[in-house]
Amino acid sequence: MKPLLEVRNLTVEFNTASATVHAVNDVSYTLAEGETLGIVGESGSGKSVHALSMVGLIAMPPGRVVRGEVLFNGRNLLALSQRELFDLRGKEIGFIFQDPMTSLNPVLTIERQIAEPLRRHLGLSASQARKRVVELLELVGIPDAERRAGQYPHEFSGGMRQRVMIAIGVSCNPKLLIADEATTALDVTVQAQILELVRDLKKKIGTTVIWITHDMGVVAGLADTVQVMYGGRIMERGPVRAVFNDPRSAYTWGLLKSLPHGSQRGVKRLYQIPGNPPDMTREPVGDPFAPRNRFATERCFRETPPLVDAADSVSGHKVAAWYDLRQELAKLEAASHD
């Protein structure tokens, strides 16, 4: 499969009066056409910022893309003019944002909001757009679409609004759909419905998807590839199954360990990763997770580990770590038996 998106050495900073925030540090990856990439990380890991900065959606200033290239179908997005970006966003790259409660304009009808990209990018007439809006609403599973199209956002529930957001995101059949925490604000049953809808849409229109979340469970159910980010860097990435069954980064291991398991009995406390999120204003030296990592070596504090192929794993499984997590875990295991 040919790559749709190639991110190379993307580095993003925010310069404020008092400090520089190193939000994204040297992130590189490729995304194949039709692939679903799940990006996992905690708040401040750079997962959202890196996606927004690719298409010029971060405020500049204070934001600044320091280095890097983002090749989308061979075109460097970071070199595009404002005008070209306007034409690209919503047409070739669709977005779904986190909070469906605030991502829709409260004073415009649903129809106008879905019709906007259709009229802007595809040049549809008002009546053509109206027809397409109804089709799109039906596609995302909103009953009584004709009537609902004329309503305002406050007349929709959270899940329904997220469906509307998805309809806007896919309205122009984008090649790439970026969903930023798209299910975070929804309760679990609605979340499951939305995920089902996205899987279904993927089958129907074959879009490539980047799904940004902090929920490992969502990634497991949706993505082909998972990419774990921490402190503005990729810690580990690879096929979902490989990463979940055989994590090589201590951070991924900690995340997985802190998930509740169905098999867990009684009132066993969940694992908690020790320490606090990193100070992003610090110069990025060394492994960003090292201060919270029980397996960190001295080298982890001094040198930044490159993202390399994980030993003895499937192809595409990469990890950035100086330590060997498998050895460390084996030692831990042995110690607990003594």
What's the distance, CA 139 to chain centroid?
23
Of 131, 154, 257, 331, the one binding other proteins by CB under 8 A: 154
For residues 67 and 119, which CB has a smaller minimum distance to other proteins in the complex?
A: 119
Q: Calculate the dihedral angle through the C-alpha atoms of 114, 195, 55, 283, rounding to the nearest 10 degrees.
A: 150
d(CA 332, CA 318): 23
C-alpha pair distances (Å), 49 with each of 39, 88, 140, 212: 12, 18, 27, 11
Is residue 150 near other proteins by the rule CB under 8 A?
A: yes
172 contacts 118 by C-beta, under 8 angstroms: yes
Is residue 97 near other proteins by the rule CB under 8 A?
A: yes
Tally the C-alpha atoms within 13 A of residue 312's C-alpha that lie toward its C-beta.
7
Q: Which stretch binds other proteins (CB under 8 A): 6-14, 69-77, 112-120, 281-289?
A: 112-120
**What b/e string do you get for 105-122 counting C-beta neighbours within 10 Å, with b at 16 or more?**
eeeebbbbbbbbbbebbe
- DSSP, collapsed to helix, strand or coil, labels residue 149 as coil
For residues 39 and 57, which CB has a smaller minimum distance to other proteins in the complex?
A: 57
Is residue 86 near other proteins by the rule CB under 8 A?
A: yes
For residues 80 and 192, which CB has a smaller minimum distance to other proteins in the complex?
A: 80
Total number of residues shown for the chain: 338
Q: How far is the CB of 120 from other proteins (least distance, A)?
A: 6
DSSP-assigned beta bridge partners for residue 30: 6
Which 41-60 residues touch other proteins, going by CB under 8 A?
A: 55, 57
Of 24, 104, 134, 139, the one binding other proteins by CB under 8 A: 104
Of 29, 95, 230, 295, the one binding other proteins by CB under 8 A: 95
Q: How far is the CB of 109 from other proteins (least distance, A)?
A: 8
Q: How far is the CB of 103 from other proteins (least distance, A)?
A: 4
- DSSP, collapsed to helix, strand or coil, labels residue 309 as strand
Is residue 116 near other proteins by the rule CB under 8 A?
A: yes
300 contacts 287 by C-beta, under 8 angstroms: yes
Is residue 91 near other proteins by the rule CB under 8 A?
A: yes
Q: How many residues contact other proteins, by CB under 8 A?
A: 32
For residues 137 and 243, which CB has a smaller minimum distance to other proteins in the complex?
A: 137
Q: Which stretch binds other proteins (CB under 8 A): 5-13, 94-102, 122-130, 287-295?
A: 94-102
Element holding 249 (H helix, E strand): none
CB atoms within 10 A of CB 153: 20
For residues 155 and 309, which CB has a smaller minimum distance to other proteins in the complex?
A: 155
Closest C-alpha to 288, from 119, 279, 28, 73: 279
DSSP-assigned beta bridge partners for residue 70: 7
Is residue 75 near other proteins by the rule CB under 8 A?
A: no
Is residue 107 near other proteins by the rule CB under 8 A?
A: yes
Q: How far is the CB of 150 from other proteins (least distance, A)?
A: 7
Of 74, 106, 123, 143, the one binding other proteins by CB under 8 A: 106
The secondary structure of 289-322 as a DSSP string is TGGG-TT--HHHHHSPPP-EEPTTS-TT-EE--S
Residues engaged in binding other proteins (CB under 8 A): 55, 57, 85-91, 94-95, 97-99, 102-108, 116-117, 120-121, 150-152, 154-155, 165, 168
